[in-house]
Amino acid sequence: MRVGLSYNVKPADTPAHLPVDAFEEYDSEATVGHLCSALAALGHEVVRLGAGPGIIDALRQGRPDIVFNIAEGEGGRCREAHVPALLEMLGVPYVGSDPLTLCVTLDKPVAKRLVASEGFATPKFRTFRSAGDFSDPGLAFPVIVKPAFEGSSKGVRLSSRAATVSQALEMVRFVTGTYGQDAIVEEFVGGPEVTVGIVGNGSPRVVGVMEIAPRTVRNEEFVYSLEVKRDWENQVEYRCPPLFPKDVVAEIERCAVGIYRLLGCRDFARIDFRLDAKGVPQFIECNPLPGLSPGYGDLPIMADRMGMSYLSLVSEILSHALSRQEVPAR
């Protein structure tokens, strides 16, 4: 089978006028290579498509039977939907969630409102368009301030956790001024940070539940920030499975699968929570384009810790997409 791969690669340098994490969501050449190698090892012919306007000609020339989409897109809160929307218009089958799910999940306030509407717990929040628009949010402090529609901890710093109204104002000024979008101010949940990897469609399967445990601070102060992610080997310990009571893990899995279905995720995704003082999973965000870098991406790490090889993970994701669209294997 001819499998196209759509992706964005981090440039060698970040222009001085952009934030240091402007391309944080994009993949490395190494990740693209690992995924190409896995697909080739499964017996497929791999066609590199890239992303952006050039993908149109690449699709015409490559004529893939299906596209394995990990492209993050370029610009705006609908950027993750660019490639899937194009593929749908052209009638090309693809791996992963559809444009609506990708738009909804990237916009954190929209995703949180949908999740809350179905009874899943999520921290209270408010959004602000600018520092001039800011007022006392009426939330329990501390809060965390972050961009409304970014991923990969873009715009999230150690200083994003604000203990006072004045600190929150400064972070709203930073987020709105630096990233040109609304800031979401959310009550900070001081319990363990947890992520859940899921694959499948009709009966989605939990690949793993993983606690991101800080090495140098208490959970009450821990922010899974850009600084932490860039030094993760020293800053955090990944516990998969986590050292939680069975009933807590079961509730995390129940919420994760329920939210996966609610938001319309397909084939694979990752759902993030923090546990509150009562052990209740509080939904933080959903990532239907989780990183697939072996040894670095949370989903491959969970799979590995639970005894699933990287090749098996890629194979299962692709198989779910093929079955969902009834694409005949060749």
Per-residue pLDDT tens over the stretch 123-162 = 999 999 999 999 999 999 999 999 999 988 999 999 999 9
Q: How far apart are CA 196 and CA 248, in angstroms?
A: 13
Is the confidence at residue 9, as pLDDT, over 70? yes
Question: What pLDDT is attached to residue 326?
Answer: 87
Burial class (CB in 10 A: 0-12, 13-18, 19+), 148: buried
Buried-state track 198-217, b at ≥16 Cβ within 10 A, e below 16: bbbbeebebbbbbbbbbeee
Question: What pLDDT is attached to residue 329?
Answer: 62
Question: What pLDDT is attached to residue 16?
Answer: 87
CA 279 from chain centre, in angstroms, equals 23
Question: What pLDDT is attached to residue 77?
Answer: 93
Q: How far apart are CA 322 and CA 154, in angstroms?
A: 32
Contacts of 186 (CB under 8 A, 6+ apart): 123, 124, 125, 139, 143, 144, 145, 146
Give percent above pLDDT 90 in the chain: 92
Look up tokens 């986590």; give the residue: 242
CA 262 from chain centre, in angstroms, equals 16
Question: Both tokens of residue 120?
Answer: 């899943």
For the chain, give me the number of helices (H) and strands (E)? 11, 13
pLDDT band at residue 67 using 50, 70 and 90 as cut-offs:
very high
Cβ atoms of residues 204 and 260 within 8 Å: yes
Question: What pLDDT is attached to residue 161?
Answer: 98
Name the pTM for this structure.
0.95
User: Among residues 101, 147, 131, which one has the least CA distance to residue 267?
Assistant: 101
Mean pLDDT computed over 102-113: 98
Q: How far apart are CA 46 and CA 82, in angstroms?
A: 21
Mean pLDDT computed over 58-70: 96
Structural domains in the chain plus CATH codes: 2-96 (3.40.50.20), 124-187 (3.30.1490.20), 190-325 (3.30.470.20)
Cβ atoms of residues 118 and 258 within 8 Å: yes
